[in-house]
Amino acid sequence: MNIILGATGQIGSMLAENLLKKGQPVRAVIRDSSKVQELKNKGAEVVIADYFDAETLKRAFQGGSSVFLLTPENPECKNCLKEIQMIINNYREAVFSSGITKIVGLSSMGAQHEAGTGNLMASYMLEHAFSDLEIEQIFVRPAYYFSNWLGYLELVQENGILPTFFPPEMELPMIAPPDVAKFLAEVMTCKNPQERIYEIMGPRDYNSLDIAKIFREILNRNVTLQQILPEEWESTLTQAGFSKDAADNLILMTKTVIEGKIKNDAFNPIRFSTGFKTYLKNIV
């Protein structure tokens, strides 16, 4: 049985669908009871569990062989990394008591740094949470998701403005979320020995100007790139509903990316073929 956390989220939902298409048994662990029937209709077993409640997670993990774990983002968190540590501690308890033999974790590029990277520290914490357990552990570090640009889609469509926190010409590895989910499904079902860490990305790196150009081509309208300067980051995020701590962590992560610290020469990344233009066409 494949236990999938975050099964109603972007990656988790596509991962569950990929596994079900392969004829694999899936137990979707979710927090929103309104999504139960939708998942059952697709063929998944569904369990409601609170990540902050170790006992519900233990029950959800019972009888599982492989588990997909992630560190959920909460823009309203008051102490984000402390909350992540609480969740990871509960994961440990649930894994230890369940007989799980394989952990597949959704990490991130930049997870090699122990401190000073904001949100990326959650991935570091996840990758090191089970180091004392003698079970198979695989962590997948995707590049920057193409879907991060979709939060601006309505603004681009209506006003022709594409905001970015990045310097316009700074290139960054990016990837299509469906490719991430597809790779995770392969990792979860593979019976052969695998690497402990995989870094995955799309066919090429992009800068913000490239992204604006592709929006322009697909939407057939003028698109102006609007860089949000560092001194405006905090106010922009708090106005968007982020707590002070969530904003601080996102700012630290953004600085880490801009400073080029997410790159890691220790790994040869796996590249997928879906580019941003193809991805955006499929969305709009």
pLDDT, position 116:
96
Confirm whether 247 is domain-assigned.
no
Block means of pLDDT (10 residues each) for the chain, 284 residues, are: 97 98 97 92 96 96 97 96 98 94 98 96 98 95 98 97 98 98 97 92 98 98 98 97 98 97 88 98 95
pLDDT, position 267:
81
Confirm whether 46 is domain-assigned.
yes
pLDDT, position 264:
87
Alpha helices, DSSP H, located in the chain: 10-21, 36-41, 54-61, 80-98, 120-127, 153-159, 177-189, 208-219, 230-239, 244-258, 276-283
DSSP assigned state of 212: H
pLDDT, position 266:
76
Q: What is the number of H-type helices and E-type strands within the chain?
A: 11, 13
Confirm whether 242 is domain-assigned.
no
pLDDT, position 265:
81
pTM: 0.96
Confirm whether 223 is domain-assigned.
no
Cβ neighbors of 96 (< 8 A, separation 6 or more) are 133
C-alpha to C-alpha distances, 26 to 20, 61, 62, 160, nearest whole angstrom: 7, 11, 13, 42
Confirm whether 131 is domain-assigned.
yes
How many distinct structural domains can be found in the chain? 1
Confirm whether 31 is domain-assigned.
yes
Confirm whether 120 is domain-assigned.
yes
- CB of 77 closer than 8 Å to CB of 246: yes
What angle (nearest 5°) sits at the alpha carbon of residue 89, between those of residues 87 and 93? 115
Confirm whether 74 is domain-assigned.
yes
CATH number at residue 61: 3.40.50.720
Parent domain of 68: 2-143+177-200+265-272
